[in-house]
Amino acid sequence: MKHRSADDTRFVIEFFSNASSPGAEVVSPMLDGAWIGEFVAGIVYLIVGFRLARLASQTSERPERLLSAMFFFSGVSYILYIVPLAIPIEALWTPFNFAGRAIYIPAPILIALFTREVFRSKARFSTWMVYATSVLLVVGVGVSAMLGDWEGFSLGNPLFWFEWMGYTIPFAWAGLEAFGQYRSSLRRQRLGLCNRLVCNRLLLWSIWGMSQVALSALLLFMYAHFEANNAFSALHDGLTGVIEIFALGLIWLVFFPPRFYQKLVSGSAGSESSVEES
């Protein structure tokens, strides 16, 4: 892993130090099938997006703006996918599925931009990762739609794999970079240079990124079952719902950590989410 400069490390720590605000509230999801998980995920992502937008208006920092937009597009996309289930009119299925699919395109691009900005701002390859993500998604979704595949459920369509890699690789990259920074932060923590809560947020962000990769992997089994049976599997739907709820819990702890959790992680009363400057 490429060595990070002191400035890069400080920037990462400062971002995750400011990730949450006291007294935040979040929707508490309840598992009742994958569609419930996705609907609640959409609502929570919109809440996080709006809160980050408010934070960005105060700090004028680019990472907050990138994440705010990413959560906003993700939230709208998730809800559009759910609309046909709430309004069971078959004529609406394809339009809403394509709308959710198309509106999701910016989300992986934004997470790639965020990862470059926070973790790899000086690495040339990170810029190419952003370009590659953009090309994969635009080609995968745009060309397949022009050829008549509006829903993108066909694993046999080579363009599906363009799209799949476009929305999987950025989250894997985010997870790996956060985990690498987490390991570095543990060394800083032992030297008294990194608050435990900040280190924990890096770990949670890493696990969240990998949870999105797990959802992408599960999607392959879901679509294979759909192609064979023209219906989604209840087992796969249930697993999707569980992973979505788990991912929401991670986002809750990153951006809305309750006091008891802060005390648990920090091992002290009156935890502060700040880091001493080295």
**Residue 270 within any structural domain of the chain:** no
Question: What does pTM read for this prediction?
Answer: 0.80
Helix and strand element counts for the chain (H, E):
11, 0
Q: Does residue 104 belong to any structural domain of this protein?
A: yes
Instruction: Tell me, yes or no, whether 230 lies in a domain.
Output: yes
- Number of structural domains in the chain: 1
Fill in the DSSP letter of residue 87. S
Q: Looking at residue 154, which CATH number applies to its domain? A: 1.20.1070
| Residue 32 counted as domain residue | yes
11 within a domain of the structure (yes/no): yes
CB 97 within 8 A of CB 85: no
Give the number of other Cβ atoms within 10 Å of residue 56's Cβ: 18
pLDDT of residue 168: 96
Q: Give a yes or no: residue 272 inside a domain.
A: no
Q: What is the rounded CA–CA span in Å between residue 261 and residue 245?
A: 18
- The parent domain of residue 71 ranges over 7-265
Quick check: is 278 in a domain? no
Which pLDDT value is given to residue 73?
Answer: 95
How many Å apart are CA 28 and CA 153, to the nearest integer?
A: 31
- What is the pLDDT tens value at each position of the chain, 278 positions in all? 444 444 444 555 566 666 654 443 333 333 344 567 677 888 889 999 998 898 888 888 888 899 999 999 999 998 888 877 777 677 778 888 889 999 999 999 999 999 999 999 888 999 999 999 999 999 999 888 888 888 776 787 888 899 999 999 999 999 999 999 998 888 777 766 678 888 899 999 999 999 999 999 998 998 888 778 877 777 877 888 888 889 989 998 998 889 999 989 887 544 444 333 33
**pLDDT number for residue 271:** 40
Token pair of 92 as six digits: 């609406």
